[in-house]
Structure 1
Amino acid sequence: MLDRVAVSCARRRGAVILAVILVSLLMAYGASRVRQTSDYKKFLSSEQASVRVTLKAAEEFQGMSFETALVEGENLLRAGSLRELLGLENLLLSSPELENRVVGCQSYADLLLQQLPQVRALLTDPSRDPLTENLVMGAYLTILSDPRLSQQLRGYLTPDLRAGLMRVYLNSSLPKEELTKAVGEVREKLRAAENLRLGLTGLYSMERDIGRIMQRDNSVLIPATVVFVCLILFLTFRRLSDVGRCLLVVGLAALWTMGVMGLTGSDFTSIHVALIPISMVAGVDYSLYFLSRYYEERGRGEGFAEALGTSARRVGTAVLMCFLTTLIGFLSFSISDLPPVRTLGQFAALAVSFAFLLTLLLLPALLGSGGVGRAGREGGVSRGLASLGRRIARHRKPILAALAVTVALSALVAPRVGSTMSFDLLLPSGVESLQTQHRMEDLFGGQSQLFVLVKGRLLNPLALEQLRGFQEGVVSDPRASGLIGGSYSLADPIFQYALFSGHMPQTEEEVAEVLENLRASNHGLFLPLSDNQTLVIFNVLGRTDRDFKRATQLVREHVENFSSPLLSLRLDGEPAVGGSPAVISDLFSRIIPNMLKTTLLALLLCLLVLILLFRSPVLGTLTLLPVCMVVMWELGTFYLLGWSLDVFTLGTFSLMIGMGIDYSVQLSSRMREELGRVGSPEEAAARTAGSIGRAVLASAVTMGGGFLILSLSRMPAMTRFGELVALVILYAFVAAVLFLPSALSLRKRAR
């Protein structure tokens, strides 16, 4: 059937090309409508309580998004330092460019001066600096006398008074792109400081800096990858026209995928960038195998139609198996908890489908009827591969034994591979915001915030006592040592007022009056209060997903044990714990098991497809075994290199199924064909390696080298991705070349 389709498309090339052009025009229109977004909400699943709490907090409290400025100087409690810092805060809050973007500022100075409004007035007169500094130092010592307030201040000011923090709260209801632009304005205004050194860091400033690095990298690495792929294709076929045909299939597959994305109104997030290399892998592989077989048949003297039909019949079946197994690998993403990952799997499957259809329909229409081509003539590479195939078949038993030993050793160390993910490994060095982040973490610990959404009679003095008791219970828990560095809630400014005034408000009206006075005297003060809701915020000192999990479990345990008729710490019956540590902890706890399950499911479904298409359980199983070997080798390599089993490394397993199985399918299919022609397994292995081996080698070098170029990126995440995918391709090629000729030769001899 495939041969009739290919020959029919070649005979009706005009109609096929016209149809492709019309579809491409429609898809180009769709691609122009693709909506790009970097909104973190697109990555979250509302099935998890932590996500619902985080989104609700962002909706109710404008200042849930913030950037942090690291402030350094000789003595930050000197009047001149306070004057300059408070002046910068006023500048940010009053600047027309930042109106409705910056909604609050809170620094160590604000914590010290909350109950001393007269000091702010004194700071306007430099001649009264000695009095100002005496009052400030008195407030500092008073706060240090209270363990709870002292711990809070230590989260903003180092004991040597040489480094402090200022949080700039942003309007979280605005689009992310607008907030990123606002952060650029904030950074410029902070540079106006004369006597203080300020560095800005946070989600938006880091993404802004990293985005610039990625743009510079992409402008070099992606063209370099395309040039490398073109070079290998040219060396394989020695025809620019064939290079153009392969690239046309790649480009149209990518265009059509983006077109469907735009026409269906799907969002294009940063994770969907992977669709481009996926389209390249599928398009180049399928075209390469088809063209190689076509020129091989032409070299044997077959005419255009006969060679085309033989190629579609022989290689087309193998490419169909590659397509179906790859499809299964990517569709397994559909059960992910992350919406973008689900759509990535669906659109990756669509990209592979388009590449297969274009190879089967368009490529025959683009082929002319003349020329054998370089790929159709036996050369040094083909003779060398044929000799290698013969040697592998002859030494099948030692090779199989060696492979079994490497797999066994990898299996022994696989359980020792760690699963802790440090986010520092994914971030580049030499970036201003990241350098500030690392410096800040060295001085104050991690800066991630875990929070609890609280509902109830928040202004009731007894409720505030209970709220403070909850905070102290979490922070004083022995398990929180070195993990949670302090907390902040609505109760803190009330108790600070009581400490300085000697009077604790006794009624809800008095509490409301104190809060109103605080707002009036501390412009831009962040008070998490919205109707009958507030937040208890905990600073998480850890930096890994395991630290986030421990902190989240600790806070949830205290929420479970909390009971009050005045306050509720639950949302929809579950502990109302949110923030990035909780979200990351929950996602990682489900993503890794899901990825393992989807990998196993994909392998089983691939096995079923191979058995059905080969019509042989033994041949189908043998074809899949190299992929299983690659899994074990990859785990063994992780152990040797000290890499962890995380979201990024696990993601390569699905790519391995999608790309690595191609080599096994092509070699098994051709080996079976040759074994039917010749009786000697050694000769069959030589003919297989000398024919399809050239295309398999070109595919491995093209894809492996292309991804290896990405490892030159300044982005560690991109570097790790490029290294891992190149490693997977190398392992898949080696496993298929060594195992299949040996195993199939042994099976032939045994029969």
Structure 2
Amino acid sequence: MQDLRNTYLGKLGAIEFRYSKFIIIAMVILTIFFGSQAINLRFESNMMKEIPQNFDVIKTQELITNEFGAEEAIIILLEADLNEISDIRNKKTLESIYRLEQRLKSRPEILDVIGPGTVYYSLFGEIPDNEVYLKEIAENMPQLISRDYSAAIVLVRTTSFVYDQASINSIIKIVEEEVEKENLYGLNYNVTGTPILIKTLLEILQEDIVKTVLLAILTILILLTLIFYFKSFLVIAPPVLGIIWTTGHLSMMGVPISMATGTFGAIIIGLGTEYGIFMMSRYREEAKKRASNETRVVAMIAGVGKGTIGSSTTTIAGFVALTFSSMPSVVHLGQTLSLGIINCLIGAFFFLPCLMSLKEWNVSGIEIKNKKLNRSIIKFSELQAKRPKSFLLIGMIVTILLASGVSFIKVVEETEESSLPENSEVMRVFNTLKDKFQRYDSMLVLVKSENVLSSNVLREVYILNKQLINIQGIKGSSFNLGLEDIYLPREDLKRRLEVSDSLGYLIIRLDMSKGTDQLQLYDDVKSVLNLTPLQVQPGGTIAMIRELTDIIMPEMSKLSILGLIGILACVMLTFMSVRYGIIPLLSVGVGIMWMMGIAGFMGTTIDSGLVGILSIMAGIGIDFAIQTINRFRLERSPIMVERITNTVQGVFEPVIISSIVAGFGFIAILAATLNFLDVLGKLLFVGVFSCAGITLLFLPSFLVIQERLFQDTKKIFHSKKNRIDEINTL
């Protein structure tokens, strides 16, 4: 024990014991401060800011917004009440729609309103009585009146479209007030559109963050209570403090919470608890020796401090790698998790030991009292030491079988609507909108020219449109001109086509068949666009999904390599050995292969928000290998069987406890409503137990083989060196 007191960490422990009350007060004050700052934590509702801004498709989308207005208008979906009318193309219904449009236009907060009533008034100055006119004009409004004539939409744009939740709620309230004032004839209404999806997504995200964090804390508390009884509150104190400090830091740094970072609470709770477990276990070990409370506290910090710092730095290295991503959302995730682990480490090193310094605590723990189980563990570890090649062969076969599942992983980009539950009311309304209107089930093609209404340009657009609608999966187009129509007067062309005010841009909306492979369709459309002499660019949600999907695997590979390099450097510094720096990477690499293979067999879909999952898992799962190798190196027995047996017995309990606590902390994420969070929770749960399984089942055998190879190589080297020395002597 005297040796521990003389170390830097031992001296730190003595200082903490002496000034424990002052440190606790200071940390409580800091926690209150950071908690007050956390109230201002911002939620990122603009999904466009969470993806790379330098993509051509993003620039195209911004151009479309600037020239044509935001696609993300609030939409009033008007559906025929079949008890009153079956076709909205009647004077009374269209008059009531026009009056609603005028009401909305009168509000100063609203910039523009586009609806079928306005179109009729622009052509006739009124809603005509002639049903032939009503039906003929409706044929040319597939974006405002559905093809079965049972629904219409009114697009509402605000003076400056904003994505924050308060502004969205404000404009929705205005729209609903005006709709309620108007007596719509034979119509039912719903307010929908991307802003509504964003509003719903943010509300669910906030609920999910609170729900997953509380469930993770409750789950881990129950597990820890079975181990430490009511002292479990002491163990979980550092990660709780870490979450409060992290949210405060994020608020002060201006880093928002988004879909990608929404799970940080459950992840930090799951990982941060591990530090408290090892600290408390060492305190208990010293308590068994009837050591003084000061000795116990010093041992907590000096005895496991180096290992805790080593494992936490590797975790942080894996998270820091995420900050090199080209995806802003992944960068924010890396910043959030890195900061969270650092704060948990501070809590474990300062807050927990100081709490333990206040009095002598009686800490319970887990002991393998079942002699049969204990003997089974010993026999299994002896078998690993005696037949290491057989174990590794089995491990290789299992790894190959599981790795084959990686090919079944689906890679696709998520959107606001795909993130929300399909059975929710907001998605029911939005899906109705997509089913009935071309605007929300289409791919955009942006045509650029000095004057898109010139006959020469329109002739080329006509030819291009013919080629596009012949692509399998495309059933129609918003470009409805015949070759003879390209010479119509400008005003007629502007009414029939979607052109910008400057006449420099024209949009073609391609109507897709249901069930079409959107990504393949995008590739087919792009190949046709490459052949036209026109200046054209694909746009819209599908184009963004395709471009983001293409970067997922390269981005995942890049972040994984950077994470492994950072982790390798940390492990090599921890062990001061290249050989023992590489072995943990091999172990966690196989664990990740297991995780991805199992995920593939489960039919998992990965999107851009999960590009950092491999780096995250590497930072989390490598702790088990580090603990095992550290214990193996501490064992000095010359008998390999005894050395491996002692190693497995020494790490079995902490690895099992840590994996259960972390794994079930992550499983709390499955309680989230958003689809993206559900996938992340499954991957982390499977990943933790995969890495733990590799560590306990196959790593000991690998250590035996590499030790034998190293010793044999060392003997050969010394033998050759001795022979050379003998020759030189002669």
Query: TM-score, normalized by length of structure 2?
Result: 0.82
Instruction: Establish whether residue 233 from structure 1 lines up as the match of residue 224 from structure 2.
Output: yes
Instruction: State the shift of 1:91 in Å.
Output: 1.1
**In the alignment, which residue of structure 2 is the partner of 1:671?**
632
**In the alignment, which residue of structure 2 is the partner of 1:728?**
687
**In the alignment, which residue of structure 2 is the partner of 1:105?**
114
**Pick aligned residue for 1:399 from 388, 391, 395:** 391
**Pick aligned residue for 1:607 from 551, 560, 568:** 568
**Pick aligned residue for 1:598 from 551, 555, 559:** 559
Supply the distance in 2 between the matched residues of 1:681 and 1:320 (Cα, whole angstroms).
29
**Pick aligned residue for 1:486 from 477, 498, 516:** 477
Supply the distance in 1 between the matched residues of 2:114 and 2:289 (Cα, whole angstroms).
78
Supply the distance in 2 between the matched residues of 1:587 and 1:455 (Cα, whole angstroms).
24
The one-letter code sitting in structure 2 at the alignment partner of 1:235 is L
The one-letter code sitting in structure 1 at the alignment partner of 2:31 is S
The one-letter code sitting in structure 2 at the alignment partner of 1:641 is M
Supply the distance in 2 between the matched residues of 1:620 and 1:583 (Cα, whole angstroms).
40
- Change in CA separation of 1:498 and 1:526 when aligned onto 2, cut-off 3 Å: closer
In the TM superposition, 1:35-184 aligns within 5 A as: 35-68=42-75, 69=77, 71-72=79-80, 78=87, 81=90, 83-95=92-104, 99-101=108-110, 103-107=112-116, 113=120, 116-117=123-124, 120-122=127-129, 132-137=130-135, 153=142, 156-158=145-147, 161=148, 163-171=150-158, 173-176=160-163, 177=165, 178-183=167-172
Supply the distance in 2 between the matched residues of 1:187 and 1:481 (Cα, whole angstroms).
41
Supply the distance in 1 between the matched residues of 2:39 and 2:414 (Cα, whole angstroms).
37
Name the SS for the 1:561 alignment partner. coil
In the TM superposition, 1:97-496 aligns within 5 A as: 99-101=108-110, 103-107=112-116, 113=120, 116-117=123-124, 120-122=127-129, 132-137=130-135, 153=142, 156-158=145-147, 161=148, 163-171=150-158, 173-176=160-163, 177=165, 178-183=167-172, 186=175, 193=184, 195-214=186-205, 220-240=211-231, 243-368=232-357, 370-375=360-365, 378-380=367-369, 384=373, 387-388=376-377, 390-395=379-384, 397=388, 398-415=390-407, 417-420=409-412, 426-442=419-435, 447=440, 450-451=443-444, 457-458=450-451, 461-462=454-455, 466-467=457-458, 469-470=460-461, 473-474=464-465, 476-477=467-468, 480-483=471-474, 485-487=476-478
- Change in CA separation of 1:430 and 1:80 when aligned onto 2, cut-off 3 Å: same
Instruction: State the shift of 1:300 in Å.
Output: 3.7
Name the SS for the 2:477 alignment partner. strand
Instruction: Establish whether residue 12 from structure 1 lines up as the match of residue 1 from structure 2.
Output: no
Mapped contact 1:545–1:584 kept (Cα < 8 A): no
In the TM superposition, 1:730-745 aligns within 5 A as: 730-745=689-704
The one-letter code sitting in structure 2 at the alignment partner of 1:554 is V
- Change in CA separation of 1:714 and 1:411 when aligned onto 2, cut-off 3 Å: closer
Greater Cα offset, 598-607 or 179-188: 179-188
Instruction: State the shift of 1:339 in Å.
Output: 1.8
Instruction: Establish whether residue 698 from structure 1 lines up as the match of residue 657 from structure 2.
Output: yes
Name the SS for the 1:64 alignment partner. coil
RMSD: 3.9
- Change in CA separation of 1:16 and 1:679 when aligned onto 2, cut-off 3 Å: farther
Q: How many residues align?
A: 692
Unaligned runs of 5+ residues in structure 2 are 1-7, 712-730
The one-letter code sitting in structure 2 at the alignment partner of 1:588 is T
Instruction: Establish whether residue 636 from structure 1 lines up as the match of residue 588 from structure 2.
Output: no
**In the alignment, which residue of structure 2 is the partner of 1:583?**
544
Instruction: State the shift of 1:379 in Å.
Output: 4.8
Supply the distance in 2 between the matched residues of 1:138 and 1:282 (Cα, whole angstroms).
65
- Change in CA separation of 1:253 and 1:709 when aligned onto 2, cut-off 3 Å: closer
Instruction: State the shift of 1:33 in Å.
Output: 4.1
Aligned-pair identity in percent equals 19
Supply the distance in 2 between the matched residues of 1:543 and 1:27 (Cα, whole angstroms).
50
- Change in CA separation of 1:380 and 1:133 when aligned onto 2, cut-off 3 Å: farther
Mapped contact 1:549–1:581 kept (Cα < 8 A): no
- Change in CA separation of 1:346 and 1:560 when aligned onto 2, cut-off 3 Å: farther
Supply the distance in 2 between the matched residues of 1:559 and 1:84 (Cα, whole angstroms).
45
Mapped contact 1:457–1:532 kept (Cα < 8 A): yes
- Change in CA separation of 1:238 and 1:672 when aligned onto 2, cut-off 3 Å: farther
Name the SS for the 1:36 alignment partner. coil
Query: TM-score, normalized by length of structure 1?
Result: 0.80
The one-letter code sitting in structure 2 at the alignment partner of 1:11 is R
Instruction: State the shift of 1:708 in Å.
Output: 1.7
Supply the distance in 2 between the matched residues of 1:223 and 1:382 (Cα, whole angstroms).
37
**In the alignment, which residue of structure 2 is the partner of 1:521?**
none
Name the SS for the 1:45 alignment partner. coil
Supply the distance in 1 between the matched residues of 2:516 and 2:411 (Cα, whole angstroms).
9
Q: Deviations over 1:121-172 (max 9, x none)?
A: 43xxxxxxxxx223334556xx6xxxxx6xx7499533xx354442524237
Instruction: State the shift of 1:545 in Å.
Output: 12
Q: Deviations over 1:416-463 (max 9, x none)?
A: 54434576764313212212333454556782555455555437543x
- Change in CA separation of 1:389 and 1:537 when aligned onto 2, cut-off 3 Å: farther
Unaligned runs of 5+ residues in structure 1 are 123-131, 144-148, 506-510, 519-524, 564-568, 570-574
Q: Deviations over 1:661-711 (max 9, x none)?
A: 2222222222332x22x4555555554455543333222222211222332
The one-letter code sitting in structure 1 at the alignment partner of 2:431 is H
Supply the distance in 2 between the matched residues of 1:352 and 1:43 (Cα, whole angstroms).
23
The one-letter code sitting in structure 1 at the alignment partner of 2:326 is D
Mapped contact 2:452–2:506 kept (Cα < 8 A): no
Greater Cα offset, 528-537 or 654-663: 528-537
**In the alignment, which residue of structure 2 is the partner of 1:504?**
488
The one-letter code sitting in structure 1 at the alignment partner of 2:698 is F
Instruction: Establish whether residue 34 from structure 1 lines up as the match of residue 32 from structure 2.
Output: no
- Change in CA separation of 1:739 and 1:484 when aligned onto 2, cut-off 3 Å: farther
The one-letter code sitting in structure 2 at the alignment partner of 1:586 is E
Supply the distance in 2 between the matched residues of 1:543 and 1:365 (Cα, whole angstroms).
63
Instruction: State the shift of 1:275 in Å.
Output: 2.8
- Change in CA separation of 1:235 and 1:658 when aligned onto 2, cut-off 3 Å: same
The one-letter code sitting in structure 2 at the alignment partner of 1:712 is A
Greater Cα offset, 715-724 or 299-308: 299-308
The one-letter code sitting in structure 2 at the alignment partner of 1:729 is V
- Change in CA separation of 1:295 and 1:348 when aligned onto 2, cut-off 3 Å: same
